[in-house]
Structure 1
């Protein structure tokens, strides 16, 4: 006995934001769906919360079981970081790989794979944010046919820019709205082909809007009072997504289960600047007392105003131009000259024997993460007690452990003491604009130095930041770092939501609160499909509350 389920994800749509907008009369289709069915909140991983939610959803397993924590992998035995993109799915398949007995259609699911045992249609990386997978389909010609009929998504791999670039923000908003219009036609076409046991699609537009349009919408963002555009571009994209949702679901039979969800949310960006720059610079200064690499400031003085008019084309360029040079003339010219002239400064004024790797050097090596400051310090990692590794969310710290790292300097018997010392020093990092610590908590991922489980994350310590964005920090011995410009204005939160409508689901009801890992077994339960015993997640709606329709 099987049911028909339509599941639509609003990528990174935050429940607090949605609830507020619905209470104000916005998002009418989402509100209608909520009234027709049930609504509940979801939680997710408190750390690695940007990198892991989709893999957790797809497999029904937590990262501790899959071993997948990030699209970047620190290669043990080296000081190299490799881009691995999505989880391999070798051990655990996507939950919809159900074999011949279930017909499924999967459109634009991010960070997935073409599953051999999924019986139906699969299209990946048509317009997803950070798809971490090639643009391809099964059948192979399906994506080509979709692009021929509807065109490519104008924001695919083009939703990365900076908040001070008004032209980019306008292009992004228009591209996301256009993508949503195309998405409606594609989804309706797929739904009209047959009555699938499962139709699954994800709206990536809400994710992209949350990253780059956040400060134009939310008054508690530090940049909101300084925005040059007075319209709420993020709300406009979400309203377009809401209209798309209504159009796709307009003709769905009453006996079909409809689930709309997000596996993680969004808020003010508290991670990009802190994890990608402030943390690696702090660890450099902590490892080399008295030394600074980038953006020295004057502790004990009122911090300068926020950087509201960055001159460089990219955030990467803005950070690199703040590189500290002992020669004051060289330092002045680095700030004033276009980035393309920076290599000539070393030729004219000389370069230190040991120096940071520049983004240009990393780009020449075809390094995928050349733009992230964490990697600029990699030339010093072998000499540091601890160093920051690339991140899209929390701060990730690797201890330079003897016997594990090729030139490890922290002895195994010192591991616990170094972790504890560093943890206490991290709590001493203060935002001089608020007078409060920027660190909410520090999580240890290993119980001992000899814990070499390959499924543990690469980081030994995870720094969870406070909810207030920081562009500058002070430390009693390491001094002031910054201020520097903000990067993306929205980042992720460990909260999501789910709405379910269908037979035996009471209108206006409150659904059980669960974890993102519970969503895939819940969808399987609604379908009447078997739930693998290996899944960590549990169905949030039991079969006793659901009557199969066929």
Structure 2
């Protein structure tokens, strides 16, 4: 924006009340758009992650939203285009389309009226980047360039579809809610192109990544400008719930933590080392240009020992009953709620052993998450409530002793625990410990357990920026910078701008958008 490359956002910024948004610990849930679509905080909804753990079967799966949208309780005529985690089925008065091209949609593809999905497809086609929006492209310059081009095209099509929907198809609206997720996809895949400190910045794909990310920003800027121009009398709330930056979690949370806890439990590795990666220059393993990250990592996690084999070799007879049949299964059937298996995440391959572990790592998209196998909570719990705090201390010490193989620094920034709460009441989306990583460790070294990894990067970008932002523009709204507020204040602000009463379940409070309030 400072370079003059984003004139639409720059113009909007100049006439807006501007806020930085702090999402707090809720950012680590990975459910930012559920917090918008429902208006509810995790404290209200009880949802601290999209990953569900069944304490009876020890199965895990990714689950979409079951929460009603905040707009369902409003009198305002509402039209939406592609907001993630917005359940149209629970908002019968709301028109629009969901999961046309949303990043982490959280809901099935649907529309109201029902023929709207077919109309969108006939006029604008399928989402251009649907087949590649989650791809790991940094190993290939060509694939990196292709992803950038497709995300630009997707943003341009999104802009045309949104203008048609709000101006022609459903012009009688009071609240129009549009989400453009292309920047989310682009930052996660292409961050190494614009970050000169990123270890992959010297790769051939970095230049294409930088071009692609900048072009997606330009396309998003044009989308904003088109919508603002198309509806000059509308109040505008343009926002991002949180900031983004370098990825610090994928390898540590999706592989290394699980392997560390497995080795601590069984005193043998499940993840084998790969010589070429162990000897990689600068300690940074690379993938071939046509490689797939999971395809290369998965064979290193040994499939040879079943839980029963492991029990016979390592576990005393009286404990063997804990290891029953292998319960590695798919997500259970559901009605109305989107449920997805997590077979693509390496942490999932450790699931057959969780019954026999005192603590284990849950699948996680961001920070590390550890569940204690607690008696009275988990069906085959091993840790008594009296020992709970001591075992949490043990986990914290175990992970805290790990050093980054590449830098020698501690891999842990800090650990969050559910202090002050009854651990027996921990919900299915919660963990006993959340481990916030320091840096982007590709391998661990523990003084007693030894070396784990290294493994290649997965995503190069992640959700590590300190703040989101909000621009509020309209009649009676005084432009200026107004500091840091809670990300949960966005939805109450929208409701207040509509002149409606705030629903009781909403988190946050209005940003106080009148000119008098903003001027103090």
TM-score normalised to the size of structure 1?
0.82
> Bigger shift: 212-221 or 482-491?
212-221
- The verdict on how the C-alpha distance between 1:546 and 1:102 changes in structure 2, with shifts beyond 3 A counting, is farther
Report whether the alignment pairs 1:486 with 2:457: yes
- Choose from 257, 262, 271 the match for 1:294: 271
Among residues 236, 248, 255, which one is paired with 2:227 in the alignment? 248
Query: Shift in Å at residue 269 of structure 1?
Result: 0.6
Contact 1:260 1:500 in 2 (8 A): yes
Contact 1:416 1:448 in 2 (8 A): no
Judged with a 3 Å threshold, the aligned counterparts in structure 2 of structure 1 residues 62 and 119 are, in CA distance, closer, same or farther, namely same
TM-score normalised to structure 2 length: 0.87
* 2:501 aligned with 1:533: no
Is the 2:69–2:91 Cα contact (8 Å) retained in structure 1? no
Query: 1:432-447 residue pairs with structure 2 within 5 A?
Result: 432-447=405-420
Distance 2:346 2:78 in 1: 42
| Distance 1:312-1:173 versus aligned 2 partners, 3 A rule | closer
Distance of aligned partners of 1:201 and 1:62 in 2 relative to their CA distance in 1, 3 Å threshold = same
Shift of 1:63: 0.4
Structure 1 match to 2:77: 103
Which residue number corresponds to residue 430 of structure 2? 458
Instruction: From the two aligned structures, give the one with the greater helix fraction.
Output: 2
Structure 1 SS opposite 2:24:
coil
1:228 is aligned to 205
Shift of 1:495: 2.3
Structure 2: 5+ residue stretches without partners: 312-322, 334-339
* Cα distance change, pair 352–161 in 1 and its aligned pair in 2 (3 A): farther
CA contact (8 A) 1:102 1:119 kept: no
- Secondary structure class of the residue paired with 2:71: coil
Q: C-alpha separation between the residues in 1 aligned to 2:306 and 2:9?
A: 61
Alpha-carbon offset, residue 461 of structure 1: 0.5
Counterpart Cα distance in 2 of 1:546 and 1:196: 27
Kindly state the Cα deviation for residue 177 of structure 1 after the two structures are TM-superposed. 1.4
- Alignment RMSD, CA only? 2.9
Q: How many residues align?
A: 488
In structure 2, C-alpha distance between the alignment counterparts of 1:533 and 1:164, rounded to whole Å:
49
Counterpart-to-counterpart distance in 2, 1:117 and 1:370: 32
**1:184 aligns to what?**
159
Which of residues 74, 85, 94 in structure 1 aligns to 2:69? 94
Q: Which runs of 5+ in 1 are unaligned?
A: 1-21, 325-342
Is 2:123 the counterpart of 1:144? no
Shift of 1:54: 1.2
Separation in structure 1 between the aligned mates of residue 272 and residue 25 of structure 2, nearest angstrom: 30
Match of 2:485 in 1: 514
Contact 2:50/2:429 (CA < 8 Å) preserved in 1?
no
Please identify, of 110-119 and 403-412, the stretch whose mean Cα deviation from structure 2 is larger.
110-119
1:411 aligns with 2:388: no
Residue of structure 1 aligned with 2:184, choices 207, 217, 224: 207
Q: What is the rounded CA distance, in whole Å, between the counterparts of 1:172 and 1:265 in structure 2?
A: 22
Indicate yes or no: 2:218 matched with 1:239.
yes
- Provide the secondary structure at the position in 2 that maps to 1:42: strand
Name the structure, 1 or 2, with higher relative contact order (CA <8 Å, separation 6+).
1
Q: Hey, what's the Cα distance between the residues in 2 that align with 1:111 and 1:485?
A: 31
Written as runs of structure 1 = structure 2, the 5 A alignment for 1:275-424 is 275-289=253-267, 291-296=268-273, 305-310=283-288, 313-323=291-301, 353-354=309-310, 368-424=341-397
